[in-house]
């Protein structure tokens, strides 16, 4: 083609428009004094200013074009944060304005920096969507004293900022103790010198859960003032007793509790005011959606000015947010306790086999209930003293529904294998597949069923079938490893009828066999082949370890940190040669 016929870049209106837009974006960010990073709707960095480059210790060339989340966002250990748990990415996808505090980001030299962030939708022109992220180093709020030890009153903007920060901090945790510590850090020393939290248990007992003091510029937890409290008196007019019954917020001071105490709680309050030196306090109930959850006391000791009735509305706004957060945290903890109890009953006790070591592990998904669809099993087959069944499986999902389905499948498998101890694993799984289609309330299942027998040669023989599951890994004592990838058939629940194969191998003396679920090797950012190769290499390097240590280290070193699936694993080790 003639060069004259090819349009020049300068004559292309779209290219010129994009260039002008890019220059405008760079110029806009350059005018910001704070660290600013612009990303497109895919989360790729399109522009950074010099403040961001300095804060992150990275040149613009190493930032632009990279995925903001993958490149920068980390947890406290320096691992990549799973995308499903990234609030910054959620804000980008939903087009919301959000902010967060004290999260970790990776600098160019490999160190971590703890930053707060604000992300908001931003489009330099109608043809380009994205978001603008501001990063800044979080500072503990200063106590704003005027002369004479009096604290300057909060402005309306300060109050709104405090309430917004409280909402963000408390709704981002489902741990009751962590929520209390965050509220203490938000109010001390900004509003008070002391923060005291009294919580009601589900049995209406009172526990002084947290006492925090601002001392020498830091927050100090006072364990000596924490612990069980006397019961709430039904008619006491004292401020804390009234707050624990759900009455309105009130002011208090040492004089409030100077008279003869009307209850055990009043005695504890006398002790509190004496020990802390508080001369003024505000006490407010913490209300949940249905019940009173506790009370918070904010006290002043170092600063001279006392709380006034004008301070009560702000405290009530704070405790209202605290009540919702604690309600959610308690509900989550109750569900988790139920889930953990259920999991203990679902996962079996492993049998004891002569000369053979066996252990198992289960790790729940980080963002789900403490149960899931992954399971392992091992049990004796009735007809043979030295014949046992081994199973590993995964029902799609990692929640209570998946756990219930897993229990159905596992129990049916046990029944089929027990009632047909001579049957090949493939025959048992074929029958189980038919039952899954017509009886069990599960979508699809992957699994391995193996029959482990002690042969006349004094060696352990393994016969197995694989229904769409990752292959078992066999590692010899000298570190040679191979996947048992024979006998591979389709998963359960598809409705497709195909013959299922079996395979047989002899386990060498002092060898280690590992059966596992895909959560150990799958990652959103790497192929399954990469995960299998990582497992094989680490298992070979750790095989000389005792079996329990081998399993713990394998989970720690192999399980992807960005995976949000649960993991089940069962491992056995044959005896050393006589």
pLDDT digits (tens, 9 = 90+) for 50-98: 888 988 999 999 999 999 988 999 887 778 888 777 888 887 777 778 8
* 180 vs 188: CA distance, rounded Å: 12
* 361 vs 370: CA distance, rounded Å: 13
Flag residues of the chain having pLDDT under 50: 1-21, 24, 140-148, 369
Q: What is the DSSP letter of 370?
A: S
What stretches of 347-381 show up as alpha helix (H) in DSSP? none
What pLDDT is attached to residue 343?
Answer: 61
What pLDDT is attached to residue 481?
Answer: 96
What pLDDT is attached to residue 138?
Answer: 57
CA-nearest of 440, 567, 563 to 492 is: 440
Strands (E), 112-187: 112-121, 130-136
Q: Are 192 and 300 in contact (CB under 8 A)?
A: yes
Instruction: Report the residue count for the chain.
Output: 578
CA-nearest of 397, 393, 401 to 517 is: 393
What pLDDT is attached to residue 416?
Answer: 93
* 98 vs 93: CA distance, rounded Å: 12
DSSP string, 414-451: HHHHHH-TTS-HHHHHHHHHHHHHHT---S-EEEEEEE
What pLDDT is attached to residue 18?
Answer: 41
Q: Are 275 and 302 in contact (CB under 8 A)?
A: no
What pLDDT is attached to residue 415?
Answer: 92
What pLDDT is attached to residue 26?
Answer: 58
| Angle ∠(536,541,543) on CA atoms, nearest 5 | 90
């Amino acid at each position: 083609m003639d060069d004259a016929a090819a349009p020049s870049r300068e004559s292309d209106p779209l290219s010129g428009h994009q260039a002008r837009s890019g220059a405008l974006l760079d110029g806009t960010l350059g005018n910001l004094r704070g660290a600013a990073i612009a990303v497109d709707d895919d989360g790729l960095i399109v522009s950074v200013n010099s403040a961001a480059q300095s804060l992150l210790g990275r040149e613009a060339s190493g930032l632009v074009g990279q995925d903001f989340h993958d490149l920068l966002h980390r947890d406290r250990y320096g691992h990549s944060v799973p995308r499903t748990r990234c609030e910054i990415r959620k804000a980008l996808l939903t087009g919301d304005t959000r902010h967060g505090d004290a999260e970790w980001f990776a600098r160019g030299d490999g160190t971590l920096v703890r930053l707060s962030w604000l992300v908001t939708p931003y489009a330099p022109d109608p043809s380009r969507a994205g978001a603008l992220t501001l990063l800044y180093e979080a500072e503990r709020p200063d106590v704003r004293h005027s002369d004479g030890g009096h604290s300057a009153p909060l402005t309306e903007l300060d109050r709104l900022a405090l309430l917004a920060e409280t909402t963000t901090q408390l709704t981002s945790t489902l741990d009751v103790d962590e929520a209390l510590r965050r509220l203490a850090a938000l109010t001390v020393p900004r509003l008070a010198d002391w923060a005291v939290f009294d919580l009601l248990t589900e049995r209406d007992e009172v526990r002084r859960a947290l006492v925090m003091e601002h001392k020498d510029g830091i927050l100090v937890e006072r364990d000596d003032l924490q612990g069980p409290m006397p019961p709430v008196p039904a008619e006491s007019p004292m401020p804390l007793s009234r707050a624990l019954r759900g009455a309105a917020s009130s002011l208090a001071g040492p004089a409030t509790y100077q008279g003869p105490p009307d209850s055990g709680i009043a005695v504890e309050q006398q002790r509190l005011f004496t020990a802390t030196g508080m001369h003024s306090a505000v006490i407010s109930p913490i209300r949940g959606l249905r019940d009173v959850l506790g009370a918070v006391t904010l006290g002043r000791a170092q600063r001279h000015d006392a709380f006034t009735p004008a301070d009560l509305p702000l405290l009530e706004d704070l405790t209202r947010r605290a009540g919702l957060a604690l309600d959610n945290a308690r509900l989550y903890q109750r569900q988790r306790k139920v889930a953990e109890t259920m999991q203990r009953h679902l996962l079996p006790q492993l049998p004891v086999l002569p000369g053979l070591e066996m252990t198992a592990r289960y790790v729940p998904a980080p963002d789900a209930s403490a149960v899931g669809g992954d399971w392992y099993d091992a049990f004796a087959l009735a007809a043979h003293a030295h014949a046992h069944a081994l199973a590993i499986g995964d029902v799609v999902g990692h929640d209570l529904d998946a756990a219930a389905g897993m229990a159905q499948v596992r129990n049916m498998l046990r029944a089929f294998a027990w009632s047909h101890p001579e049957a090949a694993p493939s025959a048992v799984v074929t029958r189980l597949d038919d039952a899954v289609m017509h009886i069990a309330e599960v979508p699809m299942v992957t699994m391995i069923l193996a029959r482990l027998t002690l042969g006349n040669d004094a060696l352990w023989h393994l016969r197995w079938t694989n229904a769409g599951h990752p292959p078992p890994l066999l590692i010899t004592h000298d570190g040679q490893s191979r996947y048992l990838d024979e006998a591979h058939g389709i998963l359960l629940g598809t409705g497709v009828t195909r013959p299922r194969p079996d395979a047989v191998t002899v386990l060498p003396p002092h060898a280690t066999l590992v059966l596992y679920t895909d959560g150990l090797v799958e990652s959103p950012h790497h192929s399954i082949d990469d995960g299998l190769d990582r497992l094989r290499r680490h298992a070979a390097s750790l095989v000389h370890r005792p079996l329990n240590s081998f399993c713990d280290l394998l989970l720690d070193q192999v399980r992807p940190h960005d995976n949000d699936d649960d993991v089940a694993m069962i491992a056995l080790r044959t005896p050393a040669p006589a």
